[in-house]
Amino acid sequence: MKLIEVYRTIVNHGMKMDPRGRDRVKKELLRAKKEYDKLDTSGKALYDKERLAHPYSDTRILYGNENTQVRTILTGIDMETPELLLADRLKEKGKKIDLVLSHHPEGTALAGFFNVMYMQIDILNRIGVPINIAESMMIERIKEVERKVSPVNHMRAVDAAELLGIAFMTCHTPADNCVASFLDNLMKKKRPETLGEVIDILKDIPEYKYSAAHNCPPSIIRGNASSKAGKIFVDMTGGTEGAKNIFGKLSQAGVSTLLCMHLSEEHFKKAKEEHLNVIIAGHIASDNVGLNLMFDEIESKSKLEILTCSGFRRFKRKK
């Protein structure tokens, strides 16, 4: 499997699993094409043309020849300079490694990752928040994240990959789409009545079971095991946490329980004020679910050796 084929499989499956639905994704790509067509020559030269192919700015090939044959991937949640040095050390010891794949974005994928947050507007609207309110609140939050990301040394790990001659890419929102859709479908199928039943469902999933065995179980941080779950909003994709003032609108839309990867203390306090139940499934465990589902898709097309590190454990669902 070539590097470009790995990449295209990831973004195509990410679009298939996008909680907004395929039609909404197509409309976003059409909007990007119209935006590009309006640019002058200099503007087109600087435009990130991958935005015309898929809407996930946090997922990119960061270094390497697209035609590189990939048979062995070293992958983990955070793959930075230390992990690239690990890859180089393993290669010195005779291990063949064709690609380092990081879940969390680096390089240009980190610099532009805030752009994926716009998808949260449509996700909020689908669950019942009026589009004008979702848009107004989210744009303010997106600008905040953009300001925070701007001064970061984005290219640090990419420079290391280039010096070491190691192909390097990221897979963020497409994998997050996988876990979001997986858990949303599971909750709709199981229809848990209480928060305790939600926790029981999560603990039957290998990644959460493994995390629980290592002192990081899914947890109820607002409500208790006997609290009624009601309408569950699985909030696990779209870059990072959304607007902290959106919780009142979610409550008005009928949401009773938030099922999240993680939640900042500031966001938690706002959710608590709106009497929302909150379950934290676990950040790294949820990232594991999404990445495992993505690797199931990739390996359905080509047999690969997956080496794991940096908080990732491979659990296969497809044989």
- How much is the pLDDT for 193? 98
Identify residue 73 by its one-letter amino acid code.
I
- How much is the pLDDT for 45? 94
Q: What is the CATH number of domain 178-282?
A: 3.40.1390.30
Q: Which helix (H) or strand (E) holds 233?
A: strand 231-235
C-alpha to C-alpha distance for 156 and 120, rounded to whole angstroms? 29
Three-class DSSP category at 61: strand
Q: List where CATH 3.40.1390.30 sits in the chain.
A: 178-282
> Which residue ranges of the chain lie beneath pLDDT 50?
none
- How much is the pLDDT for 239? 87
Location of structure tokens 């609108």: 249
